[in-house]
Structure 1
Amino acid sequence: MYQSDVTQFLNSLKTKNPRLEEEQRKGRALLWDKQPVDLDEQAAARKSRVAQPRYPYFMSV
């Protein structure tokens, strides 16, 4: 059965480092999988925001 060069490379990489997929899952969980957002905390954070002042050097004509 035909396997492309990329597939052969990935298969050899996985055989050399059997923990590769596990490490990838941990990295994904660290960077992409987020905890559920607490809506009450989110609303409190919005209320506590300070309005940003206008740009001080802006001159209205």
Structure 2
Amino acid sequence: MKFSKQFPLYESEATQFIKDLKKANPALEQSQRDGRALLWDKKPVDLDTQKRQLESRINQQAYVYQNKG
């Protein structure tokens, strides 16, 4: 941490690269947010639907390729 206090104008190569990338493509951050929302930010499931899904689940045998006979 001392290094950044001694040289307040210092920027690492990674920081410079990211700043240049954001300047070249200003829509980058919004597209990242959209991708995150698509994959991770899910709508909440109501409790009745969640309970129905848990109750309708069928248990799978331990080794699915083994015959029961």
Q: What 5-or-longer segments of structure 2 have no aligned partner?
A: 1-8
Q: What 5-or-longer segments of structure 1 have no aligned partner?
A: none
Q: Give the TM-score normalised by the residue count of structure 2.
A: 0.71
Residue in structure 2 matched with residue 22 of structure 1 by the alignment: 30
Q: Note the C-alpha offset of 1:53.
A: 4.3
Identity of aligned residues (%): 53
| Cα 1:12/1:48, change in 2 over 3 Å | same
Q: Which has the higher contact order (CA 8 A, sep 6+)?
A: 1
Q: Deviations over 1:9-37 (max 9, x none)?
A: 00000011010001001011111111112
User: What RMSD over aligned residues (CA atoms) do the two structures have, in Å?
Assistant: 2.2
Residue in structure 1 matched with residue 19 of structure 2 by the alignment: 11
The count of aligned residue pairs is: 59
